[in-house]
Amino acid sequence: MTEPLPESRPPSRLRDAGWAILFLVLGAAAVLVLGALLGAAVGIWHHGEMNPEAPPWLLVQSLILILSFGFATWVIGRKATKLSWEELRWKPFEAGRRGWPIGVLLGVGAAAVAILLSLPLGGARFLPDQGSVPDYLRQAFLTTLILAPAALGEEIAFRGVSQVLLARVLGRWGAILPMAVLFGLAHAFNPHLTALAFANIVLAGIFLGAAFYLPGGIWTAWGAHLGWNAALALMDAPVSGLPFTIPLINYDPGGPQWLTGGNFGPEGGALASCAIILATFAVWRLLRRGESV
């Protein structure tokens, strides 16, 4: 009697790449379904226009992103590929508690460098605006509260399951680059986008992808993402083309646009390119020192 033929299975690397793609497809599909259902439920769209009584649209988008890619993480990351939370770099509370502030400092530092360079080199300036210090602090808190889930949702989508699985195929740095490009493409329809702005968002994706491998894993990457966005917004600068109204101060980016970013915000200028590259180099040095868990 002949022995049964062994079951034919695709190479593990091919499987990992396939699961990474399926994670992105499943998450994107869930975004579309939840977007339609939640939009209809809360009445965001009314005769083709946003309902002014609806919650802030950015917050709604963030909730959809977190739920969709959180679901895809559970289905693909935990059930299909049997990866542990440690392997997915969803570090436990203690590691996250240490890693998150490291990320915030990296993000805030990079944003501060971009803004500070624009003052002497690009003629940017801060002008007085209406409001008081309590007004500023209140709006700063609310703005950060809106930006936090937005940053978390994007990190789950772009620095989560897919980057972990692609790293098995391409290595860590090889996995970071394609995810950074997808991160840039996800912002392709932001207002005032330029070629340099797109390149900078890809650079930011590389920075965040590297931060993902620092202690704290996804929480460190989230902290870096939030630190960058919140620092820019709280200095009254647009974030990826999206303006935020902050009392007390008014940021004038100066020019030229290719240097300071203009209406897109600092992310659209060459000074931000320098700041993001410096931040990425800082993360690389930390990784070289073995500060990866």
Quickly count: other Cβ atoms within 10 Å of residue 185's Cβ.
13
Choice among 90-99, 108-117, 199-208, 279-288 with the minimum mean pLDDT: 90-99
pLDDT tens sequence across 222-245: 999 999 999 999 999 999 998 888
Measured in degrees and rounded to the nearest 5, phi and psi for residue 73 equal -65, -45
Asked whether residue 43 carries a pLDDT value surpassing 80, the answer given is no
The first and second tokens of residue 7, run together, are 């079951």
Domain boundaries, the chain: 87-288
239 beta partners? 242
Q: What's the pTM?
A: 0.90
Cα dihedral 252, 222, 54, 38 sign: positive
203 three-class SS: helix
Q: What is the pLDDT of residue 40?
A: 66
The pLDDT tens digits for 170-208 are 999 999 999 999 999 999 999 999 999 999 999 999 999
Average pLDDT, the chain: 89
Cβ neighbours, 10 Å, residue 147: 25
Residues 28, 196, 222, 175, CA torsion sign:
positive
276, 110 Cβ separation under 8 angstroms? yes
pLDDT at 59: 84
- Say how far residue 32 (Cα) sits from the centre of its chain: 19
47 pLDDT tier (thresholds 50, 70, 90): very low
Q: How far is CA 279 from the centre of its chain?
A: 15
Q: What's the burial of 167, exposed, middle or buried (CB within 10 Å: 0-12/13-18/19+)?
A: buried
Using omega within 30 degrees of 0 as the cis cutoff, is the peptide bond preceding 134 cis?
Answer: no
Compute the half-sphere exposure of residue 216: CA atoms within 13 Å on the CB side of its CA: 21
